[in-house]
A = this chain, B = another copy of it.
Amino acid sequence: MATIRDVAKLAGVSTTTVSHVLNKTRFVSAEGKAKVEDAVMQLNYVPNTVARSLKGGSSRVLGMLVTDSNNPFYADLIQWVDQVAYRHGYNLILCNTQGNIERAKDYMSMLSQRRVDGMLMMSSDARQLPVSSYGTMPMVMMDSGPDRAGYDRILDDSEQGGYMATKYLLQAGHRCIGLLAGPLEKSNSQNRIAGYRRAMAEAYVEVDESWIQSGEFTYEGGVTAMTELLKQQKKVTSIFASNDLMAMGAIRVAGEHGLIVPKDLSVIGYDDIPGAKYFNPPLTTMRQPLELMAEQAIAMLLARMETPESEGQRTLLTPTLITRDSVAVNLA
């Protein structure tokens, strides 16, 4: 592959001049510029970013740690992050931890060896990482764990989301509302439960504890939690599922029990994954503002790269209600 030296030789100038015309970083006579440009064309010269990074200290690459890029929620988020990063001239290295801590550590180490300019952590595994040992690497956490000093965080206002979802069900006339919660140790699960309780309390509806069942944030988790819920004596006319995948699992189980959604059972999900509107029935859900999230995450990261010592920021994003066909409205 041609180097800047080859170009310089062919153009009859110094590498300095070539560098300057390529980067428009100081004045070069029209004649000199033309010679350089000709040589670049002839040799099919492509500047070498790795040399540039070595010299300049910045790679213009961001690392992205995610538990599973195949999860539709993350897939959607990733795509937005890529989009925003591209606008800022950054490339993204994708790292799927698959929930495996060793793998997460491995990736972290690869990324710091590559001298990525910053990292986006969209993985709850990130919690268990000795993050501090990666020095001052700029990071923003997009997960659900507790705050941690020195890093920026961006997350969904789950308490508010849980409140809004539950309130919508209440307004639709429901009183017996089941909650399919995520794993209880995750703080977004906890927050969604808290929001649910706040809405119920506000409407003076007493919560039967058997209405709250938890499961993984997956389709299968929805199946288990829903199966458990259906075993309880106190029946329920509607369900708030802590994410769309769980909602889908729950609807499946309901169907197997002869319950038609929304006729016999109303269901509201959370996230608004792309499949939600294609589902049968199209899912009413709380949409997380992914584009905004991506935007803010990158903005925070870039800001931190500028001033690494600044204090950890924390941004909360409010979800919005998307009404489709999985909730029956009985205004009576």
Q: Bound complex: CA of A53 vs CA of B72, how far in Å?
A: 34
Q: List chain B residues, Cβ under 8 A from A279.
A: 279-280
Q: List chain B residues, Cβ under 8 A from A49.
A: 110, 113-115
B46→A113 contact, CB < 8 A: yes
Name the residue in A44, A47, A59, A280 with the highest tally of chain B Cβ atoms < 10 Å from its Cβ: A280
Q: CB within 8 Å of B: which of A269-302?
A: 274-275, 278-280, 282
Task: Out of B47, B78, B96, B280, name the residue touching A255 (CB < 8 Å).
Answer: B280
CB A69 to nearest CB in B, in angstroms, measures 5
- Minimal Cβ-Cβ distance residue in B for A290: B70
Task: Out of B75, B103, B111, B280, name the residue touching A75 (CB < 8 Å).
Answer: B75
Q: How large is the interface on A (under 10, 10 to 19, 20 to 34, 35 or more residues)?
A: 35 or more
User: Hey, what's the 0/1 contact readout for A105-135 against B, CB within 8 Å counting as 1?
Assistant: 0110111111100000000000000000101
Residue A92 lies at the interface, judged by CB distance under 8 Å to chain B: yes
Q: Bound complex: CA of A59 vs CA of B113, how far in Å?
A: 12
Q: Bound complex: CA of A119 vs CA of B65, how far in Å?
A: 21
Q: Bound complex: CA of A46 vs CA of B109, how far in Å?
A: 8
A-B contact pairs, 21 of them (CB 8 A): A44-B133, A44-B135, A46-B113, A48-B113, A49-B115, A50-B53, A50-B54, A50-B115, A54-B54, A61-B114, A68-B79, A69-B75, A70-B76, A79-B96, A82-B94, A83-B98, A91-B93, A91-B110, A248-B280, A279-B279, A280-B280
* Interface residues of A, Cβ cutoff 8 Å to B: 1, 44, 46-51, 53-54, 59, 61, 64, 68-70, 72, 75-76, 78-79, 82-83, 86, 91-96, 98, 103, 106-107, 109-115, 133, 135, 219, 245, 248-249, 251-252, 255, 274-275, 278-280, 282
